[in-house]
Amino acid sequence: MVFGELTYIYALWIVPVLILFFVRSFRRRDELLRQFCEDALIKRIIPDLNRGRQKLKAALIIVAVFFLLFSLMKPRWGYEWEEMKTLGVDIVVAVDLSTSMLAEDVKPNRLKRAKMELDDLLNIVQGDRVGLVAFAGESFLQCPLTLDYSAFRMFLDYLDTDMIPVQGTAISKALAKSIKALDSKEKNSKAIILITDGEDNFGDPMKVAKEAAEAGIKIFAIGIGSQGGAPIPDVTSGGYKKDKSGQLIMSTLDETTLQNIALTTGGKYVRSITGDMDLIKIYVEGIKRELSDSELQSKNLKRYDERYQWFLFIAIIMLILESFLSERKKRLEAV
């Protein structure tokens, strides 16, 4: 036997309290009657009073309360196996961890803002698997596809620019790693969210984008940063990074490449200037509307049969019997 609402088990303390109440009531009644007159006189004054029936009525009330509380705990026994399927889409988020993501043209900085937006996105994602790829000059799968959003959040919190020693912005490598993480037979149920502030320095991202399109993967690219670019903070020496001639190195955004990547796969490009990445809008109006849900997980669960009705029925019968049972002999005989 299992129970569906074990919280009501704490209400069972009412049963012993009722028992004590009735025991004390009967004793108190007897004491008051003895103070008024002797036992022999009591029998003459109320000869039809049946103390046994009084105790029986009290017992019926106690039993009824017990079974009523027991039914509220939803006792269950006997079960059937039921197949539960989880339907959704697979989403891999590729986040740029190059040092330029520390630029503060988006508050508090580009990377922190991206993490905050992704954390908000997780609040509305339901039934979809999410994965996380971190990239700069190299790419690493930080979190494989999972339905455990708390685990994803943990890996998201750990993201920092010092995680990847090879600096730069290798978008092509990030896309290739994301496609590999999405390896699945199902098409039209996979998406990549690419968050970056720079241009590709290492490969041919359009070639990888075409591979994604052939695999049925849509890429939603988000370019983060101001239009004129921003200086890159130097975390080691302080200030901002400069080139050999002493000029500030500005982080610029190659929007054309990101737009072409998104269009090639049937996705969408969003430029985030103020830090608002429209991730929730992309998820609701882009990913969930354009992609088809597929079976992500299937498992057999025990579905127990509810049996609370039996105990509720017993409680009702006890209360009905109590209401018809009289404390006096004549009333019972008359019925």
Supply the DSSP string of 230-281, one letter for each residue: EEPB-TTTSSB-B-TTSPBPEE---HHHHHHHHHHHT-EEEEESSS---HHH
> What tens digit of pLDDT does each residue of 35-50 get?
666 655 555 555 555 6
- Residue 141 is predicted with a pLDDT of 95
Instruction: Please tell me the distance from the alpha carbon of residue 200 to that of residue 198, in angstroms, as a whole number.
Output: 7
- Residue 332 is predicted with a pLDDT of 40
Tokens of 1: 């036997």
- Residue 304 is predicted with a pLDDT of 75
Predicted TM-score (pTM) of the model is 0.65
Q: Look-up: residue for tokens 């028992």?
A: 19
- 212, 192 contact by CB (below 8 A): yes
Query: What residues does CATH 3.40.50.410 cover in the chain?
Result: 90-292
DSSP strand pairing (90-96 vs 129-135): parallel
- Residue 9 is predicted with a pLDDT of 86
- 114, 197 contact by CB (below 8 A): no
- Residue 331 is predicted with a pLDDT of 45
- Residue 333 is predicted with a pLDDT of 44
- Residue 135 is predicted with a pLDDT of 95
Q: 90-292: which CATH topology?
A: Rossmann fold (3.40.50)
| Segments of the chain scoring below 50 in pLDDT | 331-335
- Residue 335 is predicted with a pLDDT of 39
